[in-house]
Chain A
Amino acid sequence: MFVNHEGGHYLEALKYVGKSITRIDAVEKVLGIAEYASDIELPGMLYAKLLLSPYAHAKIISINYEKALRVPGVVSVAVGDDFPFRVGLYVNDRNILARKKVRWVGEPVAAVVAEDLEAAEEAVELIEVEYEPLPAVLDVREALKPGAPLVHEELGEYAHSPAFNPIAGTNIANRFTLKKGNIVEGFNKSEVVVENEFYMPQVSHVQMETHVCIGHYMADGNIKIWTSAQSPFTVRYILSHSIGVPLHRISVYVPYVGGGFGGKAGINFEPLVVLLSKKAGYRPVKLELTREEHFLAAPLRQGFYAKIKTGVTKDGKIMAEKIFYAFDAGAYADYGVNVARAAGYSCTGPYYVPNIEAESLAVYTNHQWGTAFRGFGHFEFLWAIERQMEIVASKLGIDPVEFRLKNALLPGLTTATGEVLREDAGRVDQCIEAVAKELRWGELTPTNDPKKVRAKGIAALWKAPAMPPNAASSAIIKFNEDGTVLLSVGVTEIGQGTVTSLAQIAAEELGVPIEKIRVVPFRHTDLTPYSWQTVASRNLFMEGRAVIRAARDAKEQILEIASQVLRAPKDDLIIKDEKVWVKGRPEWSLHLKDIVAGYVYPNGNTIGGPIIGRGYFVGTRLSYLDPETGQGYPALKWTFGAQGVEIELDLETGEVKVLKLVSAFDVGKAINPMLVIGQIIGGGIQSLSLGMWEQYVYDDKGRMLNPNLTDYKIARAGDIPEEIIPIIIENPQSDGPYGARGVAELSMLSVPAAIANAIFHATGVNINDLPLTYENIWKALNKKR
């Protein structure tokens, strides 16, 4: 490849980019010395334990914690009124601890701080709370009905980001609307109209590491936080906003994160531990959730309801779509409002639809609060859209692959927000074709057992980062005296491996061997260059560009010095193999190590100084969306893909086995193929697990019945398909680093729909509600009989 890219011009074969080098954090991780928040202990540290609400919706009449305070070792007990602050990413609706009322089963009501965890656990059981139960709203559609109990009576009083509009006197945390073309005309031109409803329950991220944070409010007014968070700068910013402490007084430290998947993207328990620390006499306070607390009290992925009406011509062209999405945001808006917005502006999936009317709501209920989850609304709505596409194709008698290709959103066509897809955008058609080919689409495998059938299913996908237009990334490249390099970036290492790819980019740009580059392994807001958040599959793209710019900035400084020493103009110099050369004159060169801390002439005269390169990146010409029509330019890049499965279904028990899973993504350029494949396989299995088994099961009082890993099932090694085929497609995007686009979230967007589509092909039965548990499948098959 000798392509010239905006993101990284290269005239020679690439040395590091495009290579499957092993992860730079792997050695620490296999030695068991990689540091996670739960491993951190501080001098004088205290331990916090939470008391959780047993009611979905109830007034707090009184709290008595006298007995708890008397337990030996207990330092302090806090209740909601101790902390009169509100916190929220977009809508300032959340209390630090419940005040006046509780809004879900599991809402923290009080916290005990003690010298050791055992004392805290003992004391928390002694707190007496008197509640007055209120009518609860436990279904997103019920919550929208007039007269439904209000989760937030004071919704009109909350401060909120101007991008969102909570509707006072209702349970609507945000309403996103979109209008494209002429919906009436679109349906008039349609010959077949298909309408369906779809649903999916709440699920947990089940990061292997639960939420852990330590807060230290120091007597001098400075605040330190150690936390398992994806976005240290967001933790700092929202905390500052919430409790009125300026940014420079808050330091947030993030070590390795034991899985994020969006659940640690925002701000969670950090304000609580900071305020507990102050109350407990300025000693550090650690909170580590148990798995049960993680299920009950930590944010989850919202439930989802969809109603989609699609109008098509007989020959299979989509003419119009009327879309309604309602996200069960739970008790607090958090990311939920933005999830609903993202689903709203991407609402069609990767298809060209000329006429659209869409509404996407984030709705308060008395469920646990929802937050970001890998895919950010796309896993949810793609379930609906990709099932709908299958049903429409079958109504038309058109092969579903052919139908998808016919309506594929290709460069030059407009998205739902009216954005013309750029000429170097990814190609969903190639992804669909690649998956179909690998699955041997159209060939059927018979089974010997009459009780079992085999079938195949496909679903496509797309996603862009859901981020504000000013979301930024930055990077610092510091040369050490010996010519080695320290790369600092704000993206946290949550397992995705971005920092390894960034090291590759830095090595490629600087002409320094990758072994001589170390990425600072932790994030510390005092030292780390700013990054908006580690979310949205945006960081390889954005940090990648920032690293390229930082490298070029550093090189520019190096060339400035070398030009004087070598007595040659800068544009006659090149940096290669840790040296600066005069082009065509390798004998006229300088070692980098002799320049990067300042060049010393034989007589001691010195020029230049320590080299520090810096770079930043923000999206180009991204815009806010029109509040009525949703039109505008929200997308830094769209990544497209498709996933397909072959299944075996037991018709008598509903047991489904996924035999083969194929996924293809147009990643532009795989900076590190092994990491890309790692994301594709890992995301694929997470998607399969979510689609087949995972759900919050509630009783009629809104109590979760399965808050443990015995009854909240996630995939184990014995659950994965025998064949898992990742396919990388590379149509480079010219403003991406070396042409790359993100893939992390994309990898898990469409497996459930592919499985349900396969079940449909096997049996003619449409299943529109997740999860696809064996029992649910059996029930659906039974209904047909």
Chain B
Amino acid sequence: MSRRKIRFKINGVEKTVEVEPNKTLLWLIREELKLKGTKKACERGDCGLCTVLLNGEPVKSCLVLAVEVDGSDILTVEGLAKNGELAPIQRAFIEHGATQCGFCTPAFLIVGHWLINRNPNPSREEVVEAINGLLCRCTGYKPIIDAILEAAKYMRRT
């Protein structure tokens, strides 16, 4: 199995890494780059906790090969806050109690962030549709939905 050199940008930083083809993007993020915010919880696309933005679109990183991201731009939860300032979605999650055990939080933040940047005025249904691919066992989703709607409001204000 031949290793491949890939170049990509993650959270604004250029990286060059050699990977084996059978490694996933999730593996690349957690094991190679040691960014532990992105979580592993099923590795078959069911739970969505490994979701990151790949070229601006959410993907479940357990179902993307690392070699496929050559030339791509990746955003993980670690890239949301800038210059010590929390992103609107992060502020809203704190204020709405949208995090409990916190294990699913990074994935919901990433998808919420993506949604409100794409559509700063989403309906409740659109929020639900966006997060239907993600699992949370603690919150019952309602606080998460409320937080995303609230974050959209922040976005509209600024």
Contacts and interface: CB of A to CB of B under 8 A. Distances in A.
Do A and B have CB atoms closer than 8 angstroms in the complex? yes
B142 A261 contact: no
Contact-residue bracket for chain B: 35 or more
Nearest to B106: A32
Interface string A752-785: 0000000000000000000000000000000000
A724 B99 contact: no
B33 interface: no
A22 B76 contact: no
A674 B97 contact: yes
A27 to B, nearest CB: 7
Contact of B138 (A38, A41, A495): A495
A259 B46 contact: no
A632 to B, nearest CB: 34
A291 to B, nearest CB: 4
A374 to B, nearest CB: 10
Interface string A284-323: 0000001100000000000000000000000000000000
Interface string B24-61: 00000000001111111111101101000000000000
Contacts of A205: 137
A678 B143 CA distance: 8
B25 to A, nearest CB: 16
Interface string A19-38: 00011011111111111101
A544 B97 CA distance: 21
B66 interface: no
Given A258-B101, A717-B128, A291 B44 contact: yes
A209 interface: yes
A89 B106 CA distance: 35
A36 B140 CA distance: 21
A234 interface: no
A745 to B, nearest CB: 13
Nearest to B91: A30
Interface string A672-693: 0011011001111110000000
A709 B101 contact: no
A291 B43 contact: yes
A26 B97 CA distance: 8
Contacts of A720: 140-142
A618 interface: no
Contacts of B49: 208
Chain A interface mostly helix, strand, loop or mixed?
Answer: loop
A32 B43 contact: no
A258 B37 CA distance: 12
Contacts of B131: 717
Nearest to B92: A30
Q: Which of B40, B134, B136 has the most CB of A within 10 A?
A: B136
Chain B interface mostly helix, strand, loop or mixed?
Answer: loop
A709 B46 contact: yes
Contact of B94 (A23, A258, A684): A23
A724 B135 CA distance: 19
B101 A681 contact: no
A708 B37 contact: no
Contacts of B139: 678, 681-682, 685
A35 B102 CA distance: 10
A205 B86 CA distance: 32
Interface in A28-63: 28-36, 38-39, 41
B149 interface: no
B100 A682 contact: yes
A208 B35 CA distance: 18
Interface residues of A, number: 55
Contact of A708 (B42, B140, B145): B42
B151 to A, nearest CB: 11
B140 A681 contact: yes
Contacts of A25: 102
B103 interface: yes
Contact of B99 (A29, A290, A710): A29
Given A208-B103, A708-B42, A724 B140 contact: yes
A659 interface: no
A206 B97 contact: no
A677 B146 CA distance: 14
A329 B101 CA distance: 27
Given A22-B94, A709-B47, A261 B137 contact: yes
B44 A710 contact: yes
Given A31-B37, A259-B103, A685 B44 contact: no
A33 B39 CA distance: 11
B97 to A, nearest CB: 5
A494 interface: yes
A682 B144 CA distance: 11
A209 B41 contact: yes
B100 A33 contact: no
Contacts of B38: 32
A751 to B, nearest CB: 11
A718 B109 CA distance: 18
A2 to B, nearest CB: 28
B139 to A, nearest CB: 5
B97 A716 contact: no
Given A208-B41, A257-B101, A258-B102, A26 B137 contact: no
Contact of B137 (A23, A31, A259, A724): A259
A777 B90 CA distance: 41
A400 interface: no
A256 B43 contact: no
Contacts of A682: 100, 138-140
Contact of B77 (A23, A31, A207, A709): A31
A533 interface: no
A388 interface: no
Nearest to A721: B142
Interface in B104-158: 104-106, 109, 127-129, 131-145
A710 B48 CA distance: 12
Given A31-B77, A716-B141, A718-B129, 14 more contacts: A29-B102, A30-B94, A31-B78, A31-B81, A36-B39, A38-B39, A41-B34, A495-B101, A678-B139, A682-B100, A715-B141, A717-B127, A717-B132, A718-B128
8 contacts: A26-B94, A29-B99, A210-B41, A495-B100, A684-B140, A686-B138, A717-B144, A720-B141
Interface of A: 22-23, 25-36, 38-39, 41, 205-210, 256-261, 290-291, 494-497, 674-675, 677-678, 681-686, 708-710, 714-718, 720, 724
